[in-house]
A and B are shown apart, each in its own frame.
Chain A
Amino acid sequence: MDDDQLDNVFKALGDPVRRRILDRLAKRPGQSLFEICASSVAEDGRSLSRQTISQHLDMLERAGLVQTHWSGRTKMHTLDTAPLRKAADAWLNKHLKKGSGT
């Protein structure tokens, strides 16, 4: 994983709304934009515009953390944890392993 990809992953993770979207996609993979908006109203108690959620999804997709596929004519979003593991290997573990053993 190169520096640009690493930047994209950490930038994508650097926002509570985006982290919650990932949490919800982990719980239930394959959600449409509408479903993600509906569950963000239910669980966060406030509603964000579809446009805002859509922009967050774009950023998560750019980082590779969200993969999309089509179910019929509806675009579904699913969490992909591969970039998390790569980011861990590329940077996080460098420091964690050094200080591990506790």
Chain B
Amino acid sequence: MRIYVMSVFVDDQAKALDFYTEKLGFIVKHDIPLGGDHRWLTVVSKEAPEGAELLLEPSEHPAVGPYKSALVNDGIPAASFKVDDLEKEFERLRDLGVEFTVQPMDAGPVRMAVFDDTCGNLIQLVEMVEGR
């Protein structure tokens, strides 16, 4: 068994596509119309194009709104991405206008930061520190 896709619920798929590709630098893997405004829209990391896909999933289901806002209220990220150099990535994204809710900080075996994906989610960046 392998993980091939995980999703984040986004308020607006088109806006999410811009953010996740143009700011974060992911590339589109699948973009399949599903009827209505919905698309099966997945992105992958340039560093691992055959790796797990991130599904940018519409937020329509009535449970999604309360779920997302409860997470954001407590500052909890909906997803976590790994980077080699957190400081560099933090500066790059900040210069692109990405809003960080947690500046880079130590969190045990990792350094981490959290930003707003503009589509209703907080996203965590992690750099592994232990064993580096």
- Chain A positions within 8 Å of B, measured between CB atoms, are 31-35, 38-39, 41-42, 45, 50, 54, 71-75
Contacts and interface: CB of A to CB of B under 8 A. Distances in A.
B66 interface: no
Contacts of A50: 74, 76
B114 A34 contact: yes
Nearest to A33: B74
Given A32-B101, A34-B114, A35-B102, A75 B107 contact: no
Nearest to B101: A74
Interface residues of B, number: 17
A49 B73 CA distance: 17
A71 B101 contact: yes
Nearest to A45: B108
A75 B112 contact: no
A34 B105 contact: no
Contact of B75 (A34, A41, A45): A34
Nearest to B107: A38
Interface of B: 69, 72-77, 101-102, 105-108, 112, 114, 116, 122
Contacts of B101: 32, 71-72, 74
A54 B70 CA distance: 13
A69 B108 CA distance: 27
Most-contacted residue by chain A among B74, B106, B112, B122 (CB, 10 A): B74
Contacts of B114: 34-35
A74 B108 contact: no
10 contacts: A32-B76, A33-B76, A34-B114, A35-B105, A35-B114, A42-B105, A42-B106, A42-B107, A72-B101, A75-B73
B69 A73 contact: yes
B18 to A, nearest CB: 20
B126 to A, nearest CB: 11
